[in-house]
């Protein structure tokens, strides 16, 4: 199976292993709630109805996006009638079904007809095959690697890309995608960037490839990602058991052993989506990713680290663990980030906001970006929140994959050209 044949125009969908019944979101609604001066009221509504939050924290955000199950709709409508709300998904289950239909529907012949790779979302097995086919097409300056194994034994598959200096001759650029399983757009965007590095005839891109060794892992949470396709589209964490609760999973981006236990930066509850884990760096995937990042750091060093997320349209840099301290080279970060968001906007008119993580989105402790900057010595360490700002949230239509990837590539190209 060669995805790159005929310009990536053909692919075969690998059949999934039989899995337990999916979580149904039929009839669920997703609302955006303006917090403003109603913080106490919003917190009461979210807490009393035990609503899962997609984006934002009531304590620190101007707005929060919440999922409301059918059983709580009447109660929500009553409790939130004095609040300013906006409906994002009339029926989340229908939105998920439409997303899957556009991405996973197969013809009688078992292939996605008349579609290119970047026009649809794909299975975990197909993503692995895509990387292998991409490498096979450019064997002289790329190789497939595994950063380690996941909880369930899946490889954390990446592609190493290098330029005219030869393998391992330059400082490293490390990119991670899909740390949060439901953020499917990150997988596609990271793959688009890898594909562009290898296929572009642009002299500026060739210059970038010759300057750095790229270590790109589009799916660093393969178990969680697979789980979103077999069981629960809204799953976020990894699939590691916890010693004191029946709830499964750690938030890999709250588990890195640096500034790990900061109040307000992560949850201590195993059932919460931002659970930091019982001990620093104990996540199976965290250990593997950390070891790989440190191996790059101990080699030629890390020039750039970037962790891709969705959604909110943000371009951010350290620190996440504190809002009261600036990274030493913050003025350089600010200047380069301003240029990157301008480059992004120039492509499709999409506006991104740049700034330090804690001040731009919220406090995050035990995250990979702070670790890369403070422990691995990355000269530049960043994270992005891709499209959108809340029209679709995590269930971003497949029609937005290409424009999202195109504009993000423009930002990456600007930053790498000027860093």
Rg (CA), the chain: 21
| Burial of residue 18, with CB atoms counted within 10 A of its CB: 0-12 exposed, 13-18 middle, 19 or more buried | exposed
User: Which strands, in side-by-side order, build the sheet including 63-68?
Assistant: 52-55, 63-68, 29-34, 85-89
The DSSP code sequence of 118-175 is GGS---HHHHHHHHHHHHHHSTTSEEEEEEEE-TTS-EEEEEEE--TT-TT-S-EEEE
Q: Where are the beta strands (DSSP E) in 170-260?
A: 172-176, 213-217
Place of tokens 């020039």: 303
| Burial of residue 153, with CB atoms counted within 10 A of its CB: 0-12 exposed, 13-18 middle, 19 or more buried | exposed
Active-site annotation holder among 63, 285, 385, 407: 385
User: Is 385 labeled as catalytic in the residue annotation?
Assistant: yes
Place of tokens 């971003």: 396
By residue count, the chain amounts to 419
Tokens of 23: 């979580």
User: First vs last Cα of the chain: how many Å apart?
Assistant: 38
Maximal C-alpha separation, the chain: 65
| Burial of residue 139, with CB atoms counted within 10 A of its CB: 0-12 exposed, 13-18 middle, 19 or more buried | exposed
Residues tagged active-site: 385
């Amino acid at each position: 199976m060669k995805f790159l044949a005929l310009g990536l125009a053909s692919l075969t969908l690998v059949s999934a292993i039989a899995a337990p019944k999916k979580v149904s979101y039929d009839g669920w609604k997703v609302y955006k709630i303006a917090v403003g001066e109603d913080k106490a009221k919003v917190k009461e509504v979210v807490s009393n109805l035990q609503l899962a939050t997609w984006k934002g924290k009531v304590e620190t955000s101007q707005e929060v996006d919440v999922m409301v199950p059918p059983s709580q709709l009447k109660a929500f409508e009553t409790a939130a009638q004095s609040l300013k709300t906006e409906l994002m998904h009339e029926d989340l289950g229908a939105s998920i079904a439409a997303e899957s239909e556009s991405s996973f529907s197969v013809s009688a012949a078992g292939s996605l007809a008349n579609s290119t790779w970047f026009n649809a979302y794909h299975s975990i097995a197909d993503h692995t095959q895509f990387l292998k086919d991409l490498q096979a097409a450019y064997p002289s300056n790329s190789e497939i690697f595994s950063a380690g194994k996941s909880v369930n034994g899946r490889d954390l598959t990446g592609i190493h890309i290098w330029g005219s200096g030869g393998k391992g001759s330059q400082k490293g650029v490390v990119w991670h995608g899909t740390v949060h399983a439901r953020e499917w757009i990150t997988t596609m965007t990271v793959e688009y960037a890898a594909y562009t590095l290898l296929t572009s005839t642009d002299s500026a891109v060739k210059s970038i490839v010759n300057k750095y060794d790229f270590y790109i892992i589009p799916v660093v949470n393969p178990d969680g990602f697979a789980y979103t396709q077999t069981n629960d589209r809204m799953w976020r964490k990894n699939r590691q058991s916890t010693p004191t609760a029946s709830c499964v999973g750690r938030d890999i981006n709250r588990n890195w052993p640096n500034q790990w236990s900061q109040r307000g930066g992560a949850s201590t509850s195993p059932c919460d989506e931002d659970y930091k884990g019982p001990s620093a760096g104990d996540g199976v995937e965290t250990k593997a990713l950390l070891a790989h990042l440190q191996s790059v750091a101990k080699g030629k060093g890390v020039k750039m680290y970037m962790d891709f997320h969705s959604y909110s349209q943000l371009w951010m840099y350290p620190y996440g663990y504190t809002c009261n301290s600036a990274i030493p080279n913050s003025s350089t970060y600010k200047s380069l980030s301003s240029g990157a968001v301008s480059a992004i906007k120039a492509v499709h008119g999409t506006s991104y906001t740049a700034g330090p993580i804690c001040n731009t989105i919220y406090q995050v402790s035990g995250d990979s970006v702070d670790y890369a900057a403070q422990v691995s010595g990355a000269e530049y360490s960043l994270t992005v929140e891709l499209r959108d700002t809340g029209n679709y949230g995590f269930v971003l239509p497949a029609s937005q994959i290409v424009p999202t990837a195109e504009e993000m590539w423009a930002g990456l190209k600007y930053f790498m050209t000027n860093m």
